[in-house]
Amino acid sequence: MASFQNISIRNKLTAIIRNRAIKELSQLNEQLEQRVKECKANLTKTQAALQLSQEKYHKIVEQTDIALYSSDYKEYLTYVNAVFKKLSGYTENELVGKLFLEIIAPDWKEKVTKFYKEQFDNKVQESLFSFPIITKSGEKKWIEQTVTQLKEGDLIAGLNAIVRDITERIKTEEKLKEYQYFFNNSHDLITIANESHFEIINPNFRKVLGYSEKELLEKRFMDFIHPDDVNTTLLEIEKLRTGVESLNFRNRYRRKDGSYLLFEWNVTPDPITGKFYASARDITDRKKAENKLIESEHFLNSIIENIPNMIFVKDAKDLRFVRFNKAGEDLLGYSKADLMGKNDYDFFPKTEADFFTTKDKEVLESGKLLEIEEEPIHTRYKGDRIVETKKIPILDGHGHPLYLLGISNDITDLKKLLAELKQKSEELANTNKELEQFVYVASHDLQEPLRTISNFVVLLKKKYSGTADTATAQYLQFVVDAATRMQNLIKDLLDLSRVGKNVVFIEVDCNEVLTEVIADMEASIKESNAKITAAKLPVLKGNTRELKQLFQNLISNAIKFHKKNVIPEINITVEDKNTEYLFAIKDNGIGIEEQSINKLFVIFHRLNTSTEYPGTGIGLATCKKIVDLHNGKIWIESKFGEGSTFYFTLPKENNLKHNGTQTTLK
Amino acid sequence: MKKINCILLIDDNPADNEYHKIIITEANVCNNIQIAIDGRKAIDYIMKSGEPNQSSTFPKPDLIYLDINMPQMNGFEFLEEYHRLDERLKAKIVIIMLTTSLNPDDKIRAMSYKELTEFENKPLTVEMLHETVEKYF
């Protein structure tokens, strides 16, 4: 029964428990419902708050001046804010759903992709990177973006990016870089300095001067300046202090090796900070070149000024004088100051000025040098002069005339002198002619009385032969010999004075000439047993009579100066020398001593005593005169004791040098 | 030795004439030597020699020696004048120019006169005379 009881208890208990449970449950339920109610209210509140927050956030995001965008994990844009749209120039529709990569500047796409890949691979949460994008209008804009990954668990759900437009900053940076580049690479020396020291110097300072930057900055710049330039530099600094710029100021700086360089400075002072912004250029070489140019100009100037000819330059446009030298001033009687900028019409009579101007124009138009052999020119103090002028156009690179250069030589005195000289030389020629005529006539007229003397002395000698005493016979012989010698002398003189008189040149066959000479000399050839051989001689232009004389003199000479007891051998040869023939008359005679050779063709010069080798000393002088007349040369080669060779040349074609004067006997 | 009748010396120089006379005599080629002291007188002589009854005073010369330089009428002028004379007067006369001149031009000029036979240089010699007489007579 227990069980029953138990059951009843149990039932009772169960009912109690149940009731209690129900009660508790309903309480609990109430509580729960209350909680749900509260929760619901809370949720609504939270939802409202969230809504508010979202709106607030959105508002913030949209209203901020920072550009923002979000993308999904594949980098398709999911959100862009207004600033970003403005920055990129695209609308929301054009951006959302597109790849962000598309607006990156093409040459940066790869770099940007690579950068972010590395970021993600290395699980870097947040990163900063700058690169350019291309806006809708095609403009390149530099942005700097901070990218934050959005994660769902371990997975990247997307990206949030804060973007700043840094185009201006980049531009400034680039400019700054350029300034820096310019500063660092300038070949000028650039510095910012205060009154005593360099504060900033560009690298070229070191390069040019050879000091370290430290040395240059530590020392006072005045310590580098040439002692002679310190004062001028100090004065220049004084000027700068007053705020005045310094332009093209020059001073010398000492290099580390002790040498000096010449700098040319341009300095702008800042009156507020007292700083100097300066650039300098090393003009040492330029200065040297300048000096050289100055020297060369000075050199040319000296020449132009001191040359005895008048030199003038006119501008090509209106022929006004732009240059005049001293000789020009002296000649014309006007100073440079008088002449500059003026033209011919200001100084010369119209006809002269017209002539000069015409010639000037001719030169400038033709572009060629013109020589005016003679032109009259009126001068201020020297009256009318005659000048010889060269006019030369000075052209520019394109051949257009810039200037007209004139060089004039005052030939007035020269012309006068020439005229005098001409007169004198005519007088001389006349005197010479008269002299020749005198010699000719005198010798001719001397012949007759001499012959008479000779004739009668011979008769006397004959008449008294055998009856006269020895002394008388000897005296008579002296007279006969002297008369004979004088006759020879006169004959030779006549020959000499006759050379060139009444001469015409014709075709002469030298073979015929020689044959005639040998025939004429038959007696002396026979007497001396001389052997004469001759090559075939040419036909040439000359004078028969003179050539005959020439051959005759040379052959008789060769016979006359033969060695005792040696048969004279004379060989005549000829060589063709293009425009002339070279004749040689070779003998085996006594020869001539070397020191005497030069005197050989001098008139009256005899090398031997008259008793041994009688002669007048005129024969070879006549030969020379004949060869000269034929425009040839004559000389001798000889070995004393072994014989001589006389050479002479005769041109094939020939014209008379001068025509002799007609000489007639009284 | 052949002998000729008369030689006329035309020369203004008496010494030369004297000398020539001696040489002609010595050569023994002629006994009658006449002298004219210039060309004009020589022409007169020749004209006279052609006149009748003058042969003793003005014998006709066979040979004439003619100098160049003479007053009044020189040798060349004589030759020109002589050229114009009647042929009968000139018949058989040999004229030789006898001169001091060594000028070849004078010789060339002289030889251009057809009446001139020879051009010889003074002094006249016995040999020259013999040769001439041999050659032309």
Which secondary-structure segment (H or E) carries A531? strand A531-534
Find the helix packing angle between A412-463 and A470-498, rounded to 10°: 150
Burial B3-29 (b: 16+ CB within 10 A, else e): ebebbbbbbbbeebbbbbeebbeebeb
Which residues, 6 or more positions from A444, have their beta carbon under 8 angstroms from its beta carbon? Answer: A494, A665, B100, B101, B103
* Strand ranges, E, within A364-497: 370-378, 384-395, 401-410
Task: Look at residue A380 and give its three-state secondary structure.
Answer: coil
Nearest-neighbour CA in chain B from A517: distance (Å)? 14
Least confident stretch, A45-59, A180-194, A340-354: A45-59
Q: Which of B85, B15, B3, B96 is nearest to B44 (CA)?
A: B85
Give chain A positions within 8 Å (CB) of B105.
502
Cβ of residue B68 closer than 8 Å to a chain A Cβ: yes
What does the pLDDT look like over A487-527, one tens digit per residue? Answer: 888 888 888 888 877 788 889 999 999 999 999 899 889 98
What does the pLDDT look like over A50-108, one tens digit per residue? Answer: 777 777 767 776 667 788 888 888 889 998 988 889 889 999 899 899 988 899 999 99
Cβ of residue B54 closer than 8 Å to a chain A Cβ: no
**What is the pLDDT confidence band of residue A666, given thresholds at 50, 70 and 90?**
very low
Nearest-neighbour CA in chain B from A478: distance (Å)? 19
Instruction: Report the pLDDT value the prediction gives residue A276, as an integer from 0 to 100.
Output: 94
**Is the predicted pLDDT of residue A470 greater than 70, yes or no?**
yes
Give chain B positions within 8 Å (CB) of A456.
15, 19
Q: How far apart are CA B137 and CA B118, in angstroms?
A: 14
Instruction: Report the pLDDT value the prediction gives residue A606, as an integer from 0 to 100.
Output: 63
What ipTM is given for this predicted complex?
0.76
**What is the pLDDT confidence band of residue A660, given thresholds at 50, 70 and 90?**
very low
Cβ of residue B25 closer than 8 Å to a chain A Cβ: no
Give whole-number Cα distances, B90 to A401, B46, B70, B85, B93, in Å: 88, 8, 22, 7, 6
| Paired strand residues for A651 | A580
Nearest CA in chain A to B72: A666
Cβ of residue B125 closer than 8 Å to a chain A Cβ: no
Instruction: Report the pLDDT value the prediction gives residue A657, as an integer from 0 to 100.
Output: 58
Percent of chain A residues topping a pLDDT of 90: 48
Q: With 0.80 as the threshold, say if the pTM is over it.
A: no
**What is the pLDDT confidence band of residue A611, given thresholds at 50, 70 and 90?**
low
Interface test with B, best of A446, A448, A487 (most B CBs within 10 A): A448
What does the pLDDT look like over A363-374, one tens digit per residue? Answer: 999 989 999 999
Give chain A positions within 8 Å (CB) of B69.
665-666
Which residues, 6 or more positions from A513, have their beta carbon under 8 angstroms from its beta carbon? Answer: A537, A544, A547, A548, A551
- CB atoms closer than 10 angstroms to residue A174: 11
Q: How far apart are CA A83 and CA B116, in angstroms?
A: 146
Q: Which of A587, A567, A505 is nearest to A539 (CA)?
A: A505
Cβ of residue B105 closer than 8 Å to a chain A Cβ: yes
Nearest-neighbour CA in chain A from B100: distance (Å)? 6
Instruction: Report the pLDDT value the prediction gives residue A462, as an integer from 0 to 100.
Output: 85
A454–B105 CB contact, under 8 Å:
no
Cβ of residue B69 closer than 8 Å to a chain A Cβ: yes
Asked whether the beta carbons of A633 and A651 are under 8 A apart, the reply is no
Query: pLDDT higher for A337 or A641?
Result: A337
Instruction: Report the pLDDT value the prediction gives residue A418, as an integer from 0 to 100.
Output: 92
B103–A498 CB contact, under 8 Å:
yes
Nearest CA in chain A to B108: A545
A454–B123 CB contact, under 8 Å:
yes
What does the pLDDT look like over A582-608, one tens digit per residue? Answer: 999 999 988 888 877 777 777 666 666
What does the pLDDT look like over A167-177, one tens digit per residue? Answer: 998 889 889 99
Interface test with B, best of A441, A451, A460, A663 (most B CBs within 10 A): A451
For Cα atoms B116, A488, B97, give the angle at the middle one, nearest 5 degrees.
10
Q: How far apart are CA A155 and CA A630, in angstroms?
A: 127
Least confident stretch, A13-22, A319-328, A443-452, A602-611: A602-611
Nearest-neighbour CA in chain A from B133: distance (Å)? 22
Instruction: Report the pLDDT value the prediction gives residue A604, as an integer from 0 to 100.
Output: 65
Q: Which positions in chain A have a beta carbon within 8 angstroms of at least one beta carbon in chain B? A: 444, 447-448, 451-452, 454-456, 459, 491, 494-495, 498, 502, 545, 665-666
What does the pLDDT look like over A324-334, one tens digit per residue? Answer: 999 999 999 99
Average of per-residue pLDDT across A260-269: 94
What are residue A408's phi and psi, to 5 degrees?
A: -120, 140
Nearest-neighbour CA in chain B from A452: distance (Å)? 6
Instruction: Report the pLDDT value the prediction gives residue A29, as an integer from 0 to 100.
Output: 79
Average pLDDT, chain A: 87
Cβ of residue B103 closer than 8 Å to a chain A Cβ: yes
Query: pLDDT higher for A562 or A1?
Result: A562
Tokens of A325: 């030298």
Instruction: Report the pLDDT value the prediction gives residue A614, as an integer from 0 to 100.
Output: 64
Q: Count how many pairs of residues, chain A against chain B, have C-beta atoms within 8 Å.
A: 38
Cβ of residue B1 closer than 8 Å to a chain A Cβ: no
B19–A665 CB contact, under 8 Å:
no
Asked whether the beta carbons of A131 and A107 are under 8 A apart, the reply is no
pLDDT per residue as tens, chain B (137 positions): 789 999 999 998 888 899 999 999 999 999 999 999 999 999 999 999 988 888 888 999 999 999 998 888 999 999 999 999 999 888 889 999 999 887 778 899 999 999 999 999 988 999 999 999 999 99
Asked whether the beta carbons of B119 and B108 are under 8 A apart, the reply is no
Average of per-residue pLDDT across A274-302: 92
Q: How far apart are CA A136 and CA A89, in angstroms?
A: 5
Average of per-residue pLDDT across A471-480: 86
Instruction: Report the pLDDT value the prediction gives residue A12, as an integer from 0 to 100.
Output: 77
Average of per-residue pLDDT across A398-413: 93
What does the pLDDT look like over A138-169, one tens digit per residue? Answer: 999 999 988 888 877 777 788 888 998 899 98
Percent of chain A residues topping a pLDDT of 70: 94
What are residue A647's phi and psi, to 5 degrees?
A: -110, 140
Q: How far apart are CA A203 and CA A187, in angstroms?
A: 9
**Is the predicted pLDDT of residue A661 greater than 60, yes or no?**
no
Nearest-neighbour CA in chain A from B120: distance (Å)? 14
Nearest-neighbour CA in chain B from A513: distance (Å)? 14
Nearest-neighbour CA in chain B from A649: distance (Å)? 25
Q: How far apart are CA A505 and CA A356, in angstroms?
A: 48
